C-alpha cells in the first residue's frame, strides 16, 4: 500500500523524530515514538522508490527559547538531542528544515522548498500527532496542499490526544488517513 501513495508530486514529511523525543532517556520522550521507526522507514523507502521527496522537519531551539517556559529544554540547536535518530537519518540531498514553533511552515522555508520541487501532496509522519503534526497539517491545508497522515507513523503523549488529533485531522482538515 505505501508504494501507491508516493509519486513525484508528493513529499513525505518526517516530523521531529529527534533523539530528544524518541529515546527513552530523553528530556521529552514521546510514548511509542521508537515504535514508529519501522513504519517511517517503510515510508521513506516507498517515497524514494516512487520518486517522492523526503523532507525532515526538526525542532531547533536557542538555549534561551521562550518555549522552555512551558516545556523542559529540548532540541537545543547543535546538541545531540536535536539530531534525527540514526535509523531515520537524512540522506544527502534531503532537505532538513529547522523550526522553532509547532508548525513546520511557521517562520521556515518549508513552503518554498516544497513549491520549488512541484510538490502538491504531503504525507505526514512523526511526533506529536496533536501538536507539531497537527499544526503542520493545518498550515499545509491553508496553503492548499493535499494532506495525508500516516496513522501508524505518528504518536502523541497519550492515546486520547492521538485519537482526538486524528479525528480533527480527518474531520476538520479533510486529511486522508493512510498506513505505511
DSSP 3-state of 125 = strand
pLDDT in tens, 136-149: 999 999 999 999 99
Percent of the chain with pLDDT over 90: 96
The CA distance from 99 to 92, in Å, is 20
Q: What is the pLDDT of residue 2?
A: 72
pLDDT tier at 1 (50, 70, 90 boundaries)? Answer: low
What pTM did the predictor assign?
Answer: 0.96
- DSSP symbols for 75-113: SBTTSGGGSBPGGGPPPTT--EEEESSSSSSTTSSHHHH
Fold of 2-178: Rossmann fold (3.40.50)
Q: What is the pLDDT of residue 3?
A: 73
Domain positions in the chain? 2-178
Q: What is the pLDDT of residue 118?
A: 97
Q: What is the pLDDT of residue 51?
A: 95
Of the residues 58, 99, 130, 139, only one is catalytic, namely: 99
Q: What is the pLDDT of the chain when averaged over all its residues? A: 96
Is 99 catalytic? The answer is yes
The CA distance from 5 to 118, in Å, is 16
Q: What is the mean pLDDT of residues 107-136?
A: 98
pLDDT in tens, 51-95: 999 999 999 999 999 999 999 999 999 999 999 999 999 999 999
Residue 5 has pLDDT above 80, yes or no: yes
Of the residues 58, 65, 130, 132, only one is catalytic, namely: 132
Of the residues 16, 59, 65, 130, only one is catalytic, namely: 16
Percent of the chain with pLDDT over 70: 99
Helix-, strand-, coil-residue percentages of the chain, each rounded to 5: 40, 25, 40
Amino acid at each position: 500500500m505505501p508504494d501507491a501513495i508516493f509519486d513525484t508530486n508528493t513529499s513525505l514529511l518526517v516530523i521531529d523524530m529527534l533523539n530528544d523525543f524518541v529515546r527513552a532517556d530523553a528530556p521529552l520522550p514521546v510514548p511509542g515514538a521508537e515504535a514508529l521507526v519501522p513504519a517511517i522507514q517503510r515510508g521513506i523507502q516507498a517515497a524514494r522508490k516512487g520518486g517522492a521527496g523526503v523532507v525532515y522537519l526538526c525542532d531547533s531551539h536557542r538555549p534561551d527559547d521562550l518555549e522552555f517556559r512551558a516545556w523542559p529544554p529540548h532540541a537545543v540547536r547543535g546538541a545531540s538531542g536535536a539530531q534525527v535518530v540514526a535509523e531515520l537519518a537524512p540522506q544527502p540531498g534531503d532537505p532538513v528544515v529547522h523550526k522553532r514553533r509547532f508548525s513546520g511552515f511557521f517562520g521556515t522555508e518549508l513552503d518554498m522548498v516544497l513549491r520549488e520541487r512541484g510538490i502538491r501532496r504531503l504525507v505526514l509522519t512523526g511526533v506529536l500527532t496533536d501538536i507539531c503534526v497537527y499544526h503542520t497539517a493545518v498550515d499545509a491545508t491553508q496553503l492548499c496542499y493535499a494532506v495525508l497522515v500516516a496513522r501508524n507513523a505518528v504518536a502523541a503523549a497519550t492515546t486520547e490526544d492521538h485519537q482526538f488529533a486524528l479525528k480533527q485531522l480527518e474531520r476538520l482538515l479533510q486529511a486522508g488517513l493512510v498506513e505505511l
